[in-house]
Amino acid sequence: MSATPESTVRKNEAEGQYEILIGDEVAGYATYTDQDGVRDLPHTVVDPKFRGQGLSKPLMKYALDDARADGMLVTPTCPAVERYIESNPEYADLVAAED
């Protein structure tokens, strides 16, 4: 999936993370784990040299769209993911109920 003209977002199942690349370099990632139909998104990182370019938004969009496509609910334990969902209510239905 293309995020911007020079960036690409992909799912790296071997590493358990979504990655945004600038060229061939991983500029940021969001980790995930799956359990019982719920995808936990605990951590999002953008490399300091790529910060301020808006890369976390396409990364989170891709992760949430992928969770929806996989039929998963999400637990946004990463504060950035939680804020993204609050700002984009079309993803609110993906949030798993708290126990």
Cβ atoms of residues 62 and 83 within 8 Å: no
Q: What is the CATH number of the domain that holds 11?
A: 3.40.630.30
Domains: count for the chain? 1
Q: What is this structure's pTM? A: 0.91
The answer as to whether 90 is a domain residue is yes
Cβ atoms of residues 77 and 41 within 8 Å: yes
Q: Per-residue pLDDT for the chain (99 aa), expressed as one digit of tens each? A: 545 558 999 999 999 999 999 999 999 999 999 999 999 999 999 999 999 999 999 999 999 999 999 999 999 999 999 999 999 999 999 999 986
- Whole domain around residue 24: which residue ranges? 2-94
